[in-house]
Amino acid sequence: MSKLWGGRFQKETNELTDEFNASISFDQEMYKEDIQGSIAHATMLGEQGIITPEEAQLICDGLKEILKEIEEGSIELDQSLEDIHMNIESLLTQKIGESGKKLHTGRSRNDQVATDFRLYIHNISNKILKELKQLLVLLLNKAESYLETLMPGYTHLQIAQPVTYAHYILCYYQMFYRDYNRFVQVKKESLRELPLGAGALAGTTYPLDRKLVADLLGFEGVKENSMDAVSDRDYAIDFLEACAVVMMHLSRFCEEIIIFNSSEFNFITLDDAFTTGSSIMPQKKNPDLAELIRGKTGRTYGNLIALLTTMKGLPLAYNKDMQEDKEPVIDSYKTVLNSLKIFQKMFETLKVNANRAREAMEFGFINATDVADYLVKNGLPFRDAHRVTGEIVIYCENKNKKISELNLDELSHFSPKFNEDVFSAINIDKIVETRDLIGGPSSKINKKLIEKYRKMIKSLD
């Protein structure tokens, strides 16, 4: 029978009930946060005279010893106890005696769990932020190496216009920089308002100093509505949403790595250490890690939807359904952290096959837009220039030629606006370098951006 509510019940709970109700298998991840929150709570109880200062000190010392012993591996948590909170309280009572039973004065597991969970999300967000910052630095280093290396840019997976690898990589820098800011916001929001002191749902008659506890734990303030304090899981949903988006970005990147690594493209080569072979085909070198990251993205989407679905129909205030908030968060956290770590290793060792990418730009009429732009600059309205260029493309397809292989007589057949300088205007290298507006792919623009972004990274939290 549970030691928490045994006085109300006349018979033991069913064994299956105990197993189904238990959360220790996953919420033990929050042992540090539970102890941290309990030390702050006990300190406040002593300061307010709710328990004696000596009892408060005894409790705090006992909790610190338990934390040390758990981290040293000398304590094994009791899986028969319902959750991490009961485990810590039980260990404390065993260690210091009856005073341990006073720790729970003035709080409920509802506000205790909400506090622990906020602290946990704050801490794991910090770990993800560390990996994202490292990834941002890696992307800048890679981009700097390929400032003048050309590659085809695509729309609809059809060759569109030439860009540089630096420009391509900096596109992903933008995505992951936004992800970084999302997790900064999640971290900030998780410690905005302290739930502890809300009790089960209606506060308490004890003279708690909630502001003191908030200060001790690093919260900006306290929850001003006790029902919202115990029923709010928006911060967990925000975390899961941030996880889903960063995995979406990783998945997009991995999708292109998979495509560009294929024999048909051969734009990049993956290091042997981050590929696998086939059990039957000896020639295979598969991008399995990129595929796994792409595949694991789905589970982070599922975790977000799972918690949204859990929360969507809950009446106020606390409901046991909300125990289902921990596993999605823990799973998404570990998925994102591991994916970021392995992606960085894989991307760091990736090699660009510049000659093959350059060769690919000879197909698909990659400079067709610049033919149209040339005509516009020579006085032809854009819609007419667009039509003329389309006719040139058809002509080239029929003649099996590239636009650059046409002579001036052939081009003049389509428009008198063509002059000898057209061949310079549609040169692939010049096309890229003359696109030097902010946001363009020129090496000049992207070199400046890399310098700017390096300064920005140094200022990140």
Report the alpha-carbon angle 107-112-114, nearest 5: 135
Active site residue 190: no
According to DSSP, the β-strands at 221-222 and 193-194 are parallel
Q: Are 231 and 316 within 8 A, CB to CB?
A: yes
Active site residue 278: yes
Q: Among residues 25, 145, 278, 413, which one is catalytic?
A: 278
- The Cα 151–Cα 104 span in angstroms is 63
H helices of 146-164, in order, are: none
Report the alpha-carbon angle 364-388-435, nearest 5: 60
- The Cα 93–Cα 104 span in angstroms is 11
3-state secondary structure string across 228-285: HHHHCCHHHHHHHHHHHHHHHHHHHHHHHHHHHCCCCCCCEECCHHHCECCCCCCCCC
Q: Among residues 74, 156, 279, 459, which one is catalytic?
A: 156
- The number of helices, as runs of H, and strands, as runs of E, in the chain is 19, 6
Q: Are 443 and 433 within 8 A, CB to CB?
A: yes
DSSP string, 57-96: HHHHHHHHHHHHHHHHT-----TTSSSHHHHHHHHHHHHH
- Residues 6 or more apart whose Cβ sits within 8 Å of residue 82: 2, 4, 18, 21, 22, 23, 24
- What percent helix, strand, coil does the chain show, rounded to 5? 65, 5, 30
Tokens of 87: 């485990």
Q: Of 201, 268, 210, nearest to 50 (Cα)?
A: 210
- The Cα 276–Cα 177 span in angstroms is 30
Tokens of 307: 């918690």
**Residues annotated as part of the active site:** 156, 278
